[in-house]
Structure 1
Amino acid sequence: MIRGASLRGFARLVEELGGDPAEFTARFTISPEALTSEEGLVPITSHDLMLDAVARDLRCPDFGLRLACSQDLSILGRLALAIQSSSTVAQAMECASRFMFVHSPALSIGVEPDPRGRREVVTLTYRKDLRESPYSSQAMELGLALFHRVAVTLIGSLTGLRSIELPHQPVSPLSRYTEYFGADVRFGCPTAALRVERRLLDEEFRSANAAIRRLAVDYLEGHHTDPERLISTHVRRALTGSIGAAPAPIGHIARLLTMHPRTLQRRLAAESTSFEEIADDVRRDLALRYITTTHLPLGQIAAMSGFADQSALSHAVRRWQGTTATQLRRRARGAH
């Protein structure tokens, strides 16, 4: 999932491009309220597929970059306050890395060594967990462009910016990227990142306030649990890697997690869920992802998603989406 705040400015921009925001939200089964209620949650795969579809259908290859111009740090809610009140870039990055799951568990940022081996350079990375959702060029450009925009706002300038790294090939003219970032932009890189001079980590924020930061961090710690600490997160990942490739009964998953099946059930119950609920969610997510992002035959998708046959998949899709798998695939691609 991802907070609806990530779609701030979406409706206005789509309308400016001659499109209908409601048509796109309906196509990807996103609640219209997501465009007005920033605290709501949106499935990140639907969110990203919608951005790609808008860019394609409205012939706006730089849609992600344009949308970033409508947003700022405040889309992160309480996390924004903790970041703004940090004393240095390094402290802000540590805070953002620790609590990015509040915005979306599928996204992460961090500080890593320079992949080119320069000691005076570090990379501020921006990643999406592809176990949770497929890669999206528009969503990646939105995220990295916003990352850059926030850094410039907090620091005042990015004079130490060496280059921008993107995993995909350019979807807009190269001049559009250099115009936006004001720096060298490289494509086909292992990780999306801003390569900056190491000294920037010591830059101090004018907005630093230790008391406010402590209150903000205390709130985040008290109201949000890091998914990495939940056994349900690890069960979900184990099932995602097992469904379709091998039987995935609870005993099999419990062995992978080195615990007894009854212990696993008790720990899941303490998190208000069950093995069966997680397995159903994983089957649904995998099936919908394969249907909307691949050309694979439905029979093959059924097997890869853990369904007995294509008929079982079809019944499940109609229950989830109120339509057939074929119609869902056509709708996601804007076909009629």
Structure 2
Amino acid sequence: MGAMIRGASLRGFARLVEELGGVPGEFTARFSIPPQALASEAGLVPITSHDLMLDAAARDLGCPDFGLRLAHGQDLGILGLLAPAVQASSTVRQALECAARFMFVHSPALSVGLEPDPRGRREVVALTYRKDLRESPYSPQATELGLGLFHRVAVALVGSAVGLRSVELPHPPLSPVSRYTEFFGADVKFGCPAAALRVERRLLEKELRGTDAAVRRLAVDRLAALHTDPEALTATHVRRALTQAVGAAPVTVGQVARLLALHPRTLQRRLAAESTGFAEILEDVRRDLALRYLTTTDLPLGQVAAMAGFADQSGLSHAVRRWEGASPSEVRRRVRGIG
């Protein structure tokens, strides 16, 4: 299974779509997202489908600030078990470190971090929000949702937006610039290397109002006990290697084992201990790549087949029918709301 995200990220989606005159169920069906994902925040949905749905809703409903509107109705609670650990942190720095360590619980494709100021100011740091583009394509609306929520959580923890120097987004403005400055209460720059909140460095040591060392320790221990960091799994590294290699040449377990400096039998034993196998991961990677190219590009089907590791277009067609119950062309039209 490709990268997922907790259904909590869609909190408020149905209500917002209805307010804009749309039908939530039509969007979930179009992107093969179970309808219950809009009601059960603990469930997981494919992050690519999640993000494509946000972009489509914004486009089809004529709402360019869809992501920002969705963020306005959300709070730290969408992070589930991670929320109390962040809330009980002693300082902004500690809260950010906790969020960075366990963000994979919300989605392994997303990360937050602390980086030097991209504009070179020593008294300023960047609180970054990134998506791993090896796992899923870039989505402007999902980025605005994520950074908008990041901003709301920061303000809720600190108590005000004082210290925010500016906001950075990688894409061009989707709405009038005034909409962004109204939401963030600060200058917003576009076409930047990463989505980020530029804040005064001194804010990192600001003490939080809800600090509670015992609660934080219990929350962190529970997170560590219930969730394994994907980076610690052999399957994660195999999947990453296959994502980069599929479509370039036939890939074997021996080749991937050498790349990871393992004996093939050792690699297979480790995957079995993680309740998976090489063939299963390869099938999943080919599925993700094929559906990604079908739904996010206009590439000819023959080229999609080659890039997803199929010998020919017929192989792609048989596989997509098995996965989606429809032809590649039908999947492409469905996602784009055509026909």
Shorter chain as denominator, the TM-score bin is: over 0.9
Query: In structure 2, what is the Cα distance between the partners aligned to 1:233 and 1:66?
Result: 34
Query: In structure 1, what is the Cα distance between the partners aligned to 2:191 and 2:249?
Result: 33
**Is residue 28–residue 34 contact of structure 2 (8 Å, CA) maintained in 1?**
yes
Q: CA deviation digits over 1:294-316, x for unaligned, max 9? A: 00011110010011111111111
Cα drift, residue 8 of structure 1 = 0.2
Q: Which amino acid aligns with 1:35?
A: L
Matches for 1:1-40 after TM superposition, within 5 Å: 1-40=4-43
Q: Which amino acid aligns with 2:193?
A: P
Matches for 1:217-256 after TM superposition, within 5 Å: 217-256=220-259
Q: CA deviation digits over 1:1-20, x for unaligned, max 9? A: 00000000000000000000
2:84 paired with 1:81: yes
Cα drift, residue 261 of structure 1 = 0.6
Query: In structure 1, what is the Cα distance between the partners aligned to 2:250 and 2:323?
Result: 23
Q: Which amino acid aligns with 1:105?
A: P
User: Which of 98, 101, 125 is the aligned partner of 2:101?
Assistant: 98
**Is residue 167–residue 186 contact of structure 2 (8 Å, CA) maintained in 1?**
yes
Aligned residue in 2 for 1:63: 66
Partner SS for 2:114: strand
2:194 paired with 1:191: yes
Aligned residue in 1 for 2:54: 51
2:328 paired with 1:330: no
Aligned residue in 2 for 1:123: 126
Partner SS for 2:167: strand
Deviates more, 1:239-248 or 1:134-143: 239-248
Q: CA deviation digits over 1:252-283, x for unaligned, max 9? A: 11111111111100010010100000000000
Aligned residue in 2 for 1:146: 149
Query: In structure 2, what is the Cα distance between the partners aligned to 1:122 and 1:309?
Result: 49
Query: In structure 2, what is the Cα distance between the partners aligned to 1:158 and 1:175?
Result: 17
Query: In structure 1, what is the Cα distance between the partners aligned to 2:53 and 2:183?
Result: 22
Cα drift, residue 162 of structure 1 = 0.6
User: Which of 303, 307, 311 is the aligned partner of 2:310?
Assistant: 307
Query: In structure 2, what is the Cα distance between the partners aligned to 1:178 and 1:242?
Result: 42
Query: In structure 1, what is the Cα distance between the partners aligned to 2:325 and 2:266?
Result: 37
Runs of 4+ in 1 over 3 A off after TM superposition: none
Partner SS for 1:164: strand
Gaps of 5+ in 2: none
Partner SS for 2:251: coil
Q: Which amino acid aligns with 2:168?
A: E
Partner SS for 1:169: coil
Q: TM-score, normalising length from structure 2? A: 0.99
Partner SS for 1:316: helix
Query: In structure 1, what is the Cα distance between the partners aligned to 2:173 and 2:198?
Result: 18
2:116 paired with 1:113: yes
2:212 paired with 1:209: yes
**Is residue 161–residue 185 contact of structure 2 (8 Å, CA) maintained in 1?**
no
Query: In structure 2, what is the Cα distance between the partners aligned to 1:65 and 1:149?
Result: 11
Query: In structure 2, what is the Cα distance between the partners aligned to 1:216 and 1:250?
Result: 39
**Is residue 169–residue 190 contact of structure 2 (8 Å, CA) maintained in 1?**
yes
Cα drift, residue 247 of structure 1 = 1.7
Aligned residue in 2 for 1:160: 163
Q: CA deviation digits over 1:60-89, x for unaligned, max 9? A: 000000000111000000100000000000
Cα drift, residue 158 of structure 1 = 1.9
Cα drift, residue 225 of structure 1 = 0.3
Cα drift, residue 334 of structure 1 = 1.1
Partner SS for 1:61: coil
Partner SS for 2:96: helix
The alignment-based identity, stated in percent, is 76
Q: TM-score, normalising length from structure 1? A: 0.99
Query: In structure 1, what is the Cα distance between the partners aligned to 2:287 and 2:23?
Result: 28
Q: Which amino acid aligns with 1:231?
A: T
Query: In structure 1, what is the Cα distance between the partners aligned to 2:317 and 2:42?
Result: 33
Partner SS for 1:237: helix
**Is residue 85–residue 216 contact of structure 2 (8 Å, CA) maintained in 1?**
yes
Cα drift, residue 100 of structure 1 = 0.1
Q: For the aligned residues, what is the CA RMSD? A: 0.5
How many corresponding residue pairs?
336
